[in-house]
Amino acid sequence: MKVIVGLGNPGSRYAKTRHNVGFRVIDRLADMWQIGMDREKFHAWYGHGVIDGESVALLKPTTFMNRSGQAVAAAGRFHQLTESDLLVISDDVALPCGRIRLRPGGSAGGHNGLQDVIDRMGSDGFARLRVGVDAPMGDQVSYVLSPFAPDERPIMDRAVERAAQAVACWMADGMDRAMNRFNASEEV
């Protein structure tokens, strides 16, 4: 069982914000894999399917960003999840807008949602996919809770599609191949 979690904030107020890029990637995966996301389970919108013979659960936590780990930990306990079967998708202000980066583990990098997942899982050894949203010019909280500028929207549409392809590659071929294929490219 693979569990793929997109971080974001619930509600229409946050739907198009920079902080909700993880939700957008999950929505794209759900469309691509025809997995319904209409169930609430584990403090998250939840969908389950079988992709190329592998069972996969998609989650969008309903607990707000800073408590995302609650949903991940609940799903992890239920599915007896190992670190190697978890992938968390988040926004990243340290990456240029539209750039994606896969990593097999590591620190939260100042991201409160990732930090909560690390704290509640008791480890930082799970995979993560970060989607760049650029660095803020001013207050970081206001920035990540703001929508993308009109000229950034097509860049982010391509980034969401690319991120979904990177997740599919991770599922099919593993982390090393996915990193080699998607981290090496400078496409934005």
Active site residue 19: yes
Contact 171, 2 (CB under 8 A): yes
Q: From start to end of the chain, where are the E strands?
A: 2-6, 39-41, 44-51, 54-61, 86-92, 100-103, 127-132
Cross-strand pairs, 4: 58, 87
Catalytic position from the list 19, 43, 48, 111:
19
Residues facing 91 on adjacent strands: 131
Tokens of 78: 């239920």
Give the 3-state secondary structure percentages of the chain, helix then strand then coil, rounded to 5: 45, 25, 35
Distance (Å) of CA 98 to CA 166, 172, 187: 13, 23, 8
Are the C-beta atoms of residues 38 and 49 closer than 8 Å to each other? no
Q: Which two tokens stand for residue 185?
A: 């490219």
Q: Which residues are catalytic?
A: 19
